[in-house]
C-alpha cells in the first residue's frame, strides 16, 4: 500500500508493452524502479467482452479507479463506473484526492 492509502496497480499487458518499447539500459533500470512501487495484476484467464481496454484486469484486481490519459480510447467512458471501477483521466483522479470525502 502506497502512502495515503493508495495502491498502484498495472496489468501484465501494460508492463509487457512498456518493456517492448524501451531501448536503452537506463530506461530498463528506471522501469524496474517504477515497477517496484506498484503491483502487477494478471490479465483475466478468459476473454471478457469489453469495449474498454484494461477494464477486465482492473475489475479482477478489485481496483476502484482506472486512470488513463488516452482520450481517444477512454474519453467516452470518462466519469462512468463500469463493473465497480470508475474510469477517469489523471487530472480527474488527482482532483478527487483534494475534495473532502
What's residue 98's pLDDT?
A: 81
* 3-class secondary structure per residue, 11-39: EHHHHHHHHHCCCCHHHHHHHHHHHCCCE
What's residue 99's pLDDT?
A: 65
Q: Which residues pair with 86 in a beta bridge?
A: 65, 81
* 3-class secondary structure per residue, 45-78: CCCCCCCCCCHHHHHHHCCCEEECCCHHHHHHHC
Percent share of the chain, pLDDT over 90: 62
What's residue 5's pLDDT?
A: 83
Whether residue 52 contacts residue 80, with contact meaning beta carbons closer than 8 Å, is answered with: no
**100 C-beta neighbours (distance < 10 Å), count:** 3
Split at pLDDT 50, 70, 90, the class of 53 is: confident
What's residue 100's pLDDT?
A: 65
Whether residue 67 contacts residue 89, with contact meaning beta carbons closer than 8 Å, is answered with: yes
What's residue 81's pLDDT?
A: 95
Cell digits for 6?
A: 493508495
What's residue 47's pLDDT?
A: 64
pLDDT digits (tens, 9 = 90+) for 22-50: 999 999 999 999 999 999 998 877 666 67
Residue 101 has pLDDT above 60, yes or no: no
Amino acid at each position: 500500500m502506497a502512502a495515503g492509502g493508495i495502491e498502484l496497480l498495472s496489468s501484465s499487458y501494460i508492463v509487457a508493452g512498456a518493456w517492448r518499447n524501451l531501448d536503452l539500459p537506463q530506461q530498463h533500470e528506471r522501469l524496474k524502479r517504477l515497477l517496484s512501487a506498484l503491483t502487477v495484476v494478471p490479465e483475466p484467464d478468459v476473454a471478457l467482452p469489453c469495449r474498454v481496454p484494461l477494464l477486465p484486469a482492473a475489475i479482477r484486481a478489485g481496483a476502484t479507479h482506472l486512470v488513463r490519459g488516452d482520450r481517444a480510447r477512454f474519453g467516452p467512458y470518462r466519469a462512468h463506473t463500469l463493473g465497480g471501477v470508475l474510469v477517469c483521466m489523471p487530472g480527474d483522479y488527482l482532483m478527487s484526492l483534494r475534495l473532502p470525502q
